[in-house]
Amino acid sequence: MADDKKLTPREDDFSAWYNEVVLRAELADYSPVRGSMVIRPWGYGIWERMREALDDMFKATGHENAYFPLLIPMSFIEKEKEHVEGFAPELAVVTQAGGKELDEPLAIRPTSETVIYHMMAKWVQSYRDLPMLLNQWANVMRWELRTRLFLRTAEFLWQEGHTAHATPEEAEEETVRMLGVYRTFMEEWMGMPPITGLKTDSEKFAGAVRSYATEALMQDGKALQAGTSHFLGQNFSRQFGLTFQTEEGQEEYAWNTSWGVSTRLVGGLIMTHGDDQGIVVPPRLAPDQVVIVPILVGDDHAAILAKVDEVAARLRDLGVRVRVDARENLSPGAKFYEWERKGVPFRVEIGPKDLEKGSLALARRVTPEGAKRKEFVEENEAIQTLPDRLEAFQSELLTAARDRREAATVRGVTSMDELDEALDQGAGFVYSGWNGDPAVEQAVQEQTKATSRVLPDEEFRSDSAPTRCISGEGDAEHEVVWARAY
């Protein structure tokens, strides 16, 4: 059955558009368990490519993968005071197993610091065992009240890096390095350029000394915290006895970091590039980069299908991921709609006229302004230029997203009223001075619904540093970026 009903336009209702896109592009679906989603093959295929790219980057920076238990004793989670305060309200708890009540309830991991540092304490004896650089790909569970597919689900997939170091400097360096890895990944693979910086104390990870984040701007002007990297100091090593013998023979607590990104990134991808036709998948992450649709009119279907297979094979030889959509029960138009909705970067149409002329019809999922959506290109040229066209498509997405972010950025705001007005007029990231007082963050949130996203890293700061706090009280100790956020 052709599914050609239009999506709710983003302008009318961004949130409705988002949900429709996720469901109708077959990225994910609701499950029978409240708050848990099912990730369907098209969405999972995007996540698989994200995972592969990130995993390569983690390995290139010296990390190894391991796997730790899903269930964590409640007593572990209770050891780090801030950690338990942050996570206890969201835990799902196993109280029965094997037909019996458990002596101690077990929490489904909301994150794995506790059990990982417990194990590292067993493995690390001396400075020679450091740094220990581990990563885990896993499912985690946080019982959220209001859930959104991909953006906030009770269960989600993620990776969590956990490292132990001999010095705070080395751990801090690792924290910043991994933030940089995330930024590079988001720019080069997702075409989603985040700003980076330090979280304020009220926004940091429960148990961290300092949290860094990448914050990306969605098309509706809201920010998405897309990846975080935490300097944990010795908060966990002290609770779990993670010590090492220094070169000088002393016993010291190790210094830890943790960092993670999740299936939330898929939500970010959708809201960064999607349009009223559906999602747009950057070529480097697209499970299929090109879909070939045979136009079976005229007498000689066999010749068309043979050409389709030939073109597909030639493109695959060039390293392009190609899907041939030769389904018999669907019109070409219905296929066009489907693959547009699913965001495949290029469509190739091959019909009798193309065969006659020796050309292919190339349709881009999105085009730069003024460019043609569909071109007829001589066959060899079309095939040989497709890898470059995909690269160009990839980088145009990044440029467009960066332009949108910059266009929606307002700097030098000096009062809460001004902030509120800017946000209401469509601003995304709004920069101001801040005196460092959490009460100001609370006042801003109450008046404007915006929260502090980051104290921006140097490269993102304004040319002239703000002098006064947005509250009107006191000097600015930092420049801060405000936004309404997911």
Closer by beta carbon to a second copy, 66 or else 371: 66
Which of 318, 361, 358, 367 has its CA nearest to residue 336?
361
**Residues in contact with a second copy, shown as a per-residue x/- string from 71 to 110 under the rule CB under 8 A:** xxx--x-----------xxxxxxxxxxxx-----xx-x--
Instruction: Kindly state whether residue 475 participates in binding a second copy, applying the rule CB under 8 A.
Output: no
Interior angle at CA 196, CA 110 and CA 403, nearest 5: 120
| Residue of the chain from 155, 160, 215, 340 that contacts a second copy (CB under 8 A) | 155
Residue 38 touching a second copy (CB under 8 A): yes
**Minimum distance between the CB of residue 473 and a second copy, rounded to whole angstroms?**
37
Rounded to an integer, what distance in angstroms lies between the CA atom of residue 49 and that of residue 288?
Answer: 11
Question: Is 264 a residue that touches a second copy (CB under 8 A)?
Answer: no
Closest approach of a second copy to the CB of residue 333, in Å:
17
Amino acid (1-letter code) at residue 475: D
Among 48, 417, 424, 473, binds a second copy (CB under 8 A): 48
Taking the C-alpha atoms of residue 84 and residue 91, their distance in angstroms, rounded to an integer, is: 10
Nearer to a second copy, 327 or 374 (CB): 327
Determine if residue 293 is left, alpha or beta; phi over 0 gives left, psi from -120 to 50 gives alpha, anything else beta. Answer: beta
Q: Which residue, among 339, 442, 319, has the nearest Cα to 24 in the 3D structure?
A: 339
Asked if 22 is part of the footprint of a second copy (rule: CB under 8 A), the reply reads no
Q: How many CA atoms lie within 13 A of 343 on its CB side?
A: 32
Tell me if 205 sits within 8 A of 230, measured CB to CB: yes
Residues 6+ apart with CB under 8 A from 407: none
Q: Which helix (H) or strand (E) holds 286?
A: none
SS (H, E, C) 406-440: HHCCEEEECCHHHHHHHHHCCCCCEEEEECCCHHH
d(CA 456, CA 441): 16
Q: Does 157 bind a second copy (CB under 8 A)?
A: yes
Answer yes or no whether residue 462 interacts with a second copy by CB under 8 A: no
For the bound state, the minimum distance from the C-beta of residue 443 to a second copy, rounded and expressed in Å, comes to: 29
Q: Is 2 in the site for a second copy (CB under 8 A)?
A: no
In this complex, which beta carbon is closest to a second copy, that of residue 117 or of residue 434? 117
Specify the residue, 85 or 403, whose C-beta has the smaller distance to a second copy. Answer: 85
Does residue 249 bind a second copy (CB under 8 A)? no
Residue with token string 């993620």: 158
Please pick, from the candidates 53, 70, 176, 326, the single residue that binds a second copy as defined by CB under 8 A.
Answer: 70
Distance CA 311, CA 292 (A): 9
User: Contact between 32 and a second copy (CB under 8 A)?
Assistant: yes
162 token code pair: 């956990």
Q: Compare residues 44 and 236 and give the one whose CB is closer to a second copy.
A: 44
Contact status: 141 vs a second copy (CB under 8 A)? yes
Applying CB under 8 A, the site for a second copy has a residue count of 60
Residues 345-384 that bind a second copy (CB under 8 A): none
Residue 119 is a binding residue for a second copy (CB under 8 A): yes
Binding to a second copy (CB under 8 A): which residues in 404-423? none
Q: How far is the CB of 55 from a second copy (least distance, A)?
A: 9
d(CA 468, CA 207): 31
Looking at residue 370, what DSSP letter applies? T
Dihedral pair phi/psi, residue 146, rounded to 5°: -110, 120
- What is the C-alpha to C-alpha distance for residues 301 and 251, in angstroms, rounded to an integer? 77
Asked if residue 19 binds a second copy (CB under 8 A), the reply is: no
| Closest to a second copy by CB, 69 or 168 | 69
- Identify the CA nearest to 227 among candidates 273, 258, 271: 258
Phi and psi, residue 241, nearest 5°: 65, 35
Applying the rule CB under 8 A, the residues between 424 and 443 that interact with a second copy are none
Q: Min. distance of Cβ 49 from a second copy in angstroms?
A: 11
Q: Does 319 bind a second copy (CB under 8 A)?
A: no
* Smallest separation, CB 156 to a second copy (Å): 10
Give the integer Cα–Cα distance in Å for 412 and 396: 29
Q: Which residues bind a second copy (CB under 8 A)?
A: 1, 29, 31-33, 36-41, 44-45, 48, 64-73, 76, 88-99, 105-106, 108, 115, 118-119, 122-123, 125-126, 128, 134, 138-139, 141, 143-145, 154-155, 157, 327, 329
